[in-house]
Amino acid sequence: MSSRHTPVNLFGENGMRASLPINLINVADTQEIPNSQEIFVYRDCGASIIIDILQKADIEDPEAAAKFHLEAIAEENDSMEHHSIIMQRPITNELSPIVLDGRQVLKKAGSIHHLRTLFALFRVKGKNHDVVVSFNIPIETGQGRGRNGAVTVEQEQLIALDFYRAVDSLRIVDYNLFAV
C-alpha cells in the first residue's frame, strides 16, 4: 500500500472497505448525509469521491446499467451535455465492476464548467442493490486549470490513480448491509 492511501471503513465499521487517499475530508463530519452515501472531498482542490448504495437498476446488461447510473448523475447536475466511454483497463477486484470515464459540461455561476467523472458500478449479487463509486474531478471552472477548485493536470493524474486504487480495493465486508 502506498503512503498516499489508507484503508477506510465505509458504511460503518463492517460495511465495506476501500483504500482511499489520506487527508481527505469526510463530509459526514461536517454535515448530514444519507446513510446510503459516503462523501469525501480533497483538501487541495474541488475533487470529490461519492460512494452510493442505490436501488439496483432494472437493466440486466451491466454496461447499460452503468451508463444509466452515470446519466442519472449528469441529470442531477443539470449537465448541458455529457458523454462517457467504457474503460477496458483490467480491474483486479473480484466484484467485477464496470468502469466508465465520463465528461460533463455544466453552467454554474454564469460560467462553463467541465467535469470529469470516473465511475464504477458494482452489481451486488443476490441483493437488490448497486454500489456506485464516482470520483468527480473539476477540469475547468471558468478560470483555467488549477484555479477556483479546478485541478491541475498533475492532480487529475493522481486522482485517476486514486480512483483505480479505490475500485481495485473495494470490498464488501458484510452483505447484511444490503436489504434483500
**pLDDT tens, residue by residue, 78-136:** 667 776 777 766 566 677 898 988 888 877 767 777 888 899 999 998 899 999 999 99
Higher-pLDDT residue of 49, 67 = 49
Give the per-residue pLDDT at 27: 96
Q: Contact at 8 Å (CB) between 152 and 41?
A: no
**pTM of the predicted structure, to 2 decimals:** 0.87
Q: Can you tell me the distance from the alpha carbon of 24 to that of 22, in angstroms, rounded to the nearest whole number?
A: 6
Q: Can you tell me the distance from the alpha carbon of 130 to that of 116, in angstroms, rounded to the nearest whole number?
A: 21
Give the per-residue pLDDT at 109: 67
Cell numbers that stand for 59 in this block = 437493466
Number of H helices, E strands in the chain: 2, 10
CB atoms within 10 A of CB 18: 22
- Listed as own residue / partner, the contacts of 53-59 with beta carbons closer than 8 Å and 24 or more positions apart are 53/11, 53/129, 53/130, 53/131, 53/177, 53/178, 54/129, 54/130, 54/131, 54/132, 55/128, 55/129, 55/130, 56/123, 56/124, 56/127, 56/128, 56/129, 56/130, 57/130
Q: What is the pLDDT of residues 14-51, one digit of tens each?
A: 899 999 999 899 999 999 999 999 999 999 888 999 99
Q: Contact at 8 Å (CB) between 133 and 120?
A: yes
Q: Determine the longest span between alpha carbons in the chain, in angstroms.
A: 47
Q: Contact at 8 Å (CB) between 126 and 101?
A: no
Annotate 81-136 with DSSP letters as a single string: EEEEEE-------TT--EEEEEEEEEEETTEEEEEEEEEEEEE-TTSSEEEEEEEE
Give the per-residue pLDDT at 1: 47
Cell numbers that stand for 90 in this block = 483490467
